[in-house]
Structure 1
Amino acid sequence: MFDFVRARKRMVDVDITGRGISSHHVLQAMQKVPREQFVDAWLKESAYEDRPLPIAEGQTISQPYIVAVMLEAADIKPESRVLEIGAGSGYAAAVMSRIAEQVYTIERHAVLGESARKRFEKLDYDNIQLRIDDGTKGWPEAGPFDAIIVAASGQSAPQALKEQLKIGGRLIIPLGDEFQSQELVRMIRINKVRFDEESLGAVRFVPLLGKRG
């Protein structure tokens, strides 16, 4: 019988810690969340390989290392309120929920959103709220947020998301063209109009779609 616990520990030790992720919160959370519950049955034994895996609607569950990079860059703390754009399978939101006080996640595909919601309920992750909607609008009534993580790439960060960040909040978003280079960017809100930006390296994500994208 496949040992998922051992595979998860190896993933965290080798692919996450071994590649430079040092956030205690992120490492502990990734050790807790059963990634095999977020993929189809035929892919369960591949769940702890450090690569994206296919899910419904032509989407993917992100590579574990990239999830860790994004969460470490977001500097999520136990008291944080976090917004995620692009729930997908629900895995990243699940990891965030083991750190943050409250996680809000938006998914545009109803099939993916409903599947993710069922996984959260099965695992008793009751500090996640999920909405099926256009993620580029954000979730204004739940903000402002300490961190916003976008799991899809755009040419620029949607203004609605920038406005829903707290002062000092972190927006993590891949920027660039779907068919050319993309870079993961951290934007820190300095005041009402100013944001400091930092590149976190090259990535590859599906495009961010929505009216305000």
Structure 2
Amino acid sequence: MPGGYREAMDKVEQAFAAVPREGFLLEGDRWRAAEDAPIPIGHGQTNSQPTTVRAMLRLLDVQLGQRVLDVGAGSGWTTGLLAHLTGPEGEVVGVELDPRLARWGAGNVAAGGWPWAHVEEAQPGVLGAPAGEPYDRILVSAGAESMPTALLDQLADPGRLVVPVEGWMTLAVRQQGVDEVTTHGAYRFVPLR
């Protein structure tokens, strides 16, 4: 196994240990935090399956000090995991379309003690957070019908974007103006709106 992949695995496992899932679940479901399954968080959304989140974070390969956009932040769990991976030198912007989830996710992230990360309500009709572009990394926790060009437009060069497209986990790696797109297994997500 290449050293870089092993290092990414270690960083991701450290993030999971530092950002416990139960703090991002509804109170009545916190006992389910260890389940390797998506868990409903209300408003038609779920807290994603841990195995899926691990796979996405490994593909994203977040480095200390990077600026990261978390699309479909929901309860704020992925925003917290990303904040751990960027460290205080970085910045994480989580966006969530449902205003109730955005408020809850913002509170969860604030309670986690990562002042360099926050969750905000997404602007209706606007994908991502273009006012803060470019982002070194973009994570999308909702399924797209096609590669979201609006998010590619917000990606730095070099940069990495992870998004489920038509049920396939898709990685876009931008290097010197060229985007290399690969797929990494089949997954199910709520639709990207």
2:10 is aligned with what amino acid?
Answer: H
Where 2:56 maps in the other structure, the secondary structure is helix
Partner Cα distance (1:115, 1:129) in 2 = 11
1:109 to 98, 101, 105: 98
Counterparts in 2 of 1:1-213, with a 5 A limit?
23-100=9-86, 101-133=90-122, 134=124, 136-176=126-166, 182-192=167-177, 194-209=178-193
Q: Deviations over 1:46-81 (max 9, x none)?
A: 101111101110110000111111111011011111
Partner Cα distance (2:116, 2:140) in 1 = 19
Where 1:137 maps in the other structure, the secondary structure is coil
Distance 1:135 1:145, change over 3 A: farther
Q: CA deviation at 1:140?
A: 2.1
2:42 is aligned with what amino acid?
Answer: A
Percent identical:
33
Partner Cα distance (1:135, 1:61) in 2 = 23
Q: Deviations over 1:125-167 (max 9, x none)?
A: 2111222124853222322111101111112122221011111
2:145 is aligned with what amino acid?
Answer: Q
Distance 1:21 1:52, change over 3 A: farther
1:119 is aligned with what amino acid?
Answer: N
Distance 1:28 1:146, change over 3 A: same
Aligned CA RMSD, in angstroms, stands at 1.7
Q: CA deviation at 1:190?
A: 3.0
Q: Deviations over 1:73-108 (max 9, x none)?
A: 011011111001101111111111101111011100
Q: Name stretches of at least 5 consecutive residues in structure 2 with no aligned partner.
A: 1-5
Q: CA deviation at 1:43?
A: 1.1
Decide whether the 8 Å contact of 2:38 with 2:48 is kept in 1.
yes
Q: Name stretches of at least 5 consecutive residues in structure 1 with no aligned partner.
A: 1-19, 177-181
Q: CA deviation at 1:21?
A: 9.3
Decide whether the 8 Å contact of 1:86 with 1:151 is kept in 2.
yes
Q: Which residue number in structure 1 is paired with residue 3 of structure 2?
A: none
Q: Deviations over 1:151-187 (max 9, x none)?
A: 11112122221011111211100011xxxxx100001
Q: Which residue number in structure 2 is paired with residue 10 of structure 1?
A: none
Where 2:43 maps in the other structure, the secondary structure is helix
2:170 is aligned with what amino acid?
Answer: V
Partner Cα distance (2:52, 2:69) in 1 = 17
Partner Cα distance (2:126, 2:143) in 1 = 11
TM-score, length basis structure 2? 0.89
Q: Which has the larger radius of gyration?
A: 1
Where 1:141 maps in the other structure, the secondary structure is helix
TM-score, length basis structure 1? 0.81
2:183 is aligned with what amino acid?
Answer: S
Where 1:157 maps in the other structure, the secondary structure is coil
